[in-house]
Structure 1
């Protein structure tokens, strides 16, 4: 009876699940990834009435990778798993999203609240009556937790979790017990959109930091800009573009920052990654007397094995929650407002010219009669083939490092997992990115994945087919785990794989007329394919077996692998 009275007091009663899914729709989510399970089935019934589609992945790990890829294109994503067995299977992917600042809302269907309070011996539990153990596991890889156990705080918890997910660009965890799905809460709150705006910086503090930045910027003789992943994740690309345009400064990206700036711009100078940098880039960056470093993540694979040679004395670091000017750190200040004021107050500064970057083949490959597809030949050739606004996904391994040598066309977006580096990530991420691209206007989605990595998550080809997605998937067939071989165990059996008939895999997953596969072994064959109009129009899923030598790899990968091997041997 108490519930009925409480419901009558509501102005616009709405079920908890509907409230949650309508909030997700409000912030831009249109498709929800995941795997059904008995603790989330009733909640999933609410998706269609909230304008959301169910993707239906082959397993929870892949669903997490896909949600990550979807979020990188769409801005935010959501996935649903079931208690225990489902949510734990997704944790590797969620940890990757946390590591790389990707906003994913992870919703977990749980047993009803009474069963939890009574400590019942239910399936998917550890058999010890502890229903909080799995949520605690997610606590360290979530920036906010929403435990929807009490109706009076459900709406606040949902709103707070989604807001934190967006603002901090990291995963959040929301638990939804089965009995709470249909409980009534106040729906009138939905009439007020969530406030997703960044809290403004303290004006006096912001002005002071801007003045300090400008002091060093005006005093510098050859300043440069280096842009990295957190500039993308924390949504300051408009500021980066305007800074690049207004200043005329040579602008470079770190590997994780690929796609952050217009690489056809006259100021763009290439990828800076220490000793693995594009030709001429290392010299210009490291000889600079002031580096404006925006959103840096200085991890081993992002710096070619920690081979950055730039001192903090010559660096200004801009981040989402602090700015560091040389050795002075200013906490609790967001780079967005600081960068905007720097642009407004900049005036004239010293801007040196930058060497134009192109997709020309290296001298060693020009005029070569060799038909072997090498990395030195492939990646500039890919750059010549890519189109404006393409989404390019590269797997940890040869592709991740090779793409450094590709100059992107305008509007291109790069997806990779350089920091977390979970093998197989890119196949799931491709499904999510291709779905987001389809919803937002059908941008072309291109994946480069190794034959070893493909074997971890190949089932997501099935999800692509089921959802009528049309990415181009290049599978680099080089006989196993190449990046691991370069680190250790060149001829070891653990770096070998069972060769597959890769081209035929989509047929196994049910692809019929709407699929085409290719097997490419020579440069002429790939050049011909790149010129094929039907291939380029991406009418449906296309998969290309790209055969390359087992012992070939981009030079940056070789250097990074040597560094990793040396660190692994240290006592």
Structure 2
């Protein structure tokens, strides 16, 4: 029940945020504790946006608050990434009072032209909806609308909160009505037609596979997806952005499909399928192997959050969650034919295993990481070699993978680590949170390690020291100076940011044996406090997939005339 009497608009907003499920990256506002929220306080607004993104991928939704103009624009690159990758983040902007807006005063943080809408207009294309809460009488309904849209559409929303409106009071009874977070019902007749046709196709196909992608995770259909996989026992594959969407311990898990960048046995198995059930597809360049998917519309059913495609027919407005639920209820599973899958495992290739070289290379590292991972881990990989290397691992059950394959903002992972680690501390304290980041990417957002230390977070941070931007070298400029960086003493970072030496540890690994011994160290693996591991790797070495996709991307760049 809501408190009796009135409630300030800002407290109403915070309580609605709390109703959605958790803490948020907010500034030091006095009313946060009254709403059950917790102040984080990031080092800058861009990092806060990255952290909000990482937090939302664990808890379901998040929010950040910035000041008007300078703060909100600093955050927009991060918010744009959340929009691109279908992550629900509420961006709250503290804006000047309504009198200043009406009079067009030349306040600080403005462009000096009296236009107080210019920054909101910049945000419109990266928000599913937005509002400025200038009218107290409509504030409750506008807050509810913006928050509901953010959740249902799984994309950012923006709310401007004027300083004189924030303390204004409205009836607290508004809180008695829960937020409406239900997706609209599909049109029944069309939905039935879609389900019937998919059922017919599945019964007639002798070779059906399931391909899970990013939007299966973002639009919350994993329960239905898991049930479909386990009841049909169909060969199941994931895209890079779909990594972690299904239980990779299942015997019918077949690996990561990335078009021509896939392992040969995976590519052949998917390309030869008679019917593909493609759930939550997002065919960006890196996610599709440089647009080299070989799946045709004639043998594909696409499940999306706002439409369905069944072979050559498209059904706008028909949402995948209810379609999957009705399909699961309708199927006669004895009529669904299944087949074997490629053998994908964390076995280190024989040639690599037998090598006498102690150099840590990608062909050895990623299968070994797969052996070391545990059920329930959260693993974050940076836009770089790590993003491509993680494709070579087979996860234990319930591993969550966080990366930014589509937006690809370098430095994202460090901020996202802070948000994800905070979310796990609150909701899943038994889960390890692990980051793999390159030495180049780390330099963009390294100060968030300070925030992690301040909040007692316990991530394991692996810094890959390969002397610069290897992903860029693979695309263009292998020896170019613009892909070089100033080397850092990474093992000094935790002490630099003020970590208590008894509550933090750093390690340096220059050989396979050193890293192997660390993986076998139970205290290290139990993640008792924040830890940083610097891994030295050859500067010209890269994961198999990155080498392939680097060539494809370079070719696409040359063909399009881009740099």
TM-score by length of 1: 0.96
Please point out which of 220, 224, 230 is paired with 1:245.
Answer: 230
Please point out which of 488, 502, 515 is paired with 2:504.
Answer: 515
Inter-partner Cα distance in structure 2 for 1:430 and 1:149: 35
Alignment of 1:185 onto 2:177: no
Alignment of 1:147 onto 2:140: no
* 1:22-66, Cα deviation, whole Å (9 max, x unpaired): 000011022x215x4xxxx6xx11101111001000000000000
Partner-residue secondary structure (3-state), 1:54: coil
Give the aligned partner of residue 536 of structure 2. 547
Inter-partner Cα distance in structure 2 for 1:12 and 1:313: 60
Q: How many angstroms does 1:241 deviate by?
A: 0.5
Partner-residue secondary structure (3-state), 1:365: helix
Which deviates more from structure 2 when the two are superposed, residues 122-131 or residues 342-351? 342-351
Alignment of 1:335 onto 2:320: yes
Instruction: Tell me if the contact between 1:266 and 1:356 (Cα under 8 Å) persists in the aligned partners.
Output: no
Name structure 2 gaps, 5 residues minimum.
none
Give the aligned partner of residue 25 of structure 2. 33
Give the aligned partner of residue 491 of structure 1. 479
Name structure 1 gaps, 5 residues minimum.
1-9
Give the aligned partner of residue 82 of structure 2. 97
Alignment of 1:451 onto 2:439: yes
Instruction: Tell me if the contact between 1:305 and 1:559 (Cα under 8 Å) persists in the aligned partners.
Output: no
TM-score by length of 2: 0.97
Which deviates more from structure 2 when the two are superposed, residues 554-563 or residues 373-382? 554-563
Inter-partner Cα distance in structure 2 for 1:335 and 1:568: 34
Give the aligned partner of residue 216 of structure 1. 201
Partner-residue secondary structure (3-state), 2:108: coil
Inter-partner Cα distance in structure 2 for 1:213 and 1:95: 35
Going from structure 1 to structure 2, the CA distance change for 1:548 and 1:56 (only over 3 Å counts) comes to same
Inter-partner Cα distance in structure 2 for 1:310 and 1:483: 27
Aligned length: 554
Runs of 4+ in 1 over 4 A off after TM superposition: none
Q: How many angstroms does 1:568 deviate by?
A: 1.5
Inter-partner Cα distance in structure 2 for 1:334 and 1:402: 33
Alignment of 1:567 onto 2:559: no
Please point out which of 510, 526, 530 is paired with 1:537.
Answer: 526
Alignment of 1:316 onto 2:308: no
Q: How many angstroms does 1:218 deviate by?
A: 1.1
Instruction: Tell me if the contact between 1:304 and 1:557 (Cα under 8 Å) persists in the aligned partners.
Output: no
Which deviates more from structure 2 when the two are superposed, residues 416-425 or residues 330-339? 330-339
Q: How many angstroms does 1:364 deviate by?
A: 2.1
Inter-partner Cα distance in structure 1 for 2:174 and 2:542: 55
Partner-residue secondary structure (3-state), 2:18: helix
Please point out which of 282, 290, 293 is paired with 2:275.
Answer: 290
Please point out which of 129, 149, 162 is paired with 2:114.
Answer: 129
Alignment of 1:203 onto 2:188: yes
Q: How many angstroms does 1:536 deviate by?
A: 1.1
Give the aligned partner of residue 71 of structure 1. 56
Partner-residue secondary structure (3-state), 1:483: helix
* 1:349-407, Cα deviation, whole Å (9 max, x unpaired): 11112234221111221222211111000000000000000000000110000000000
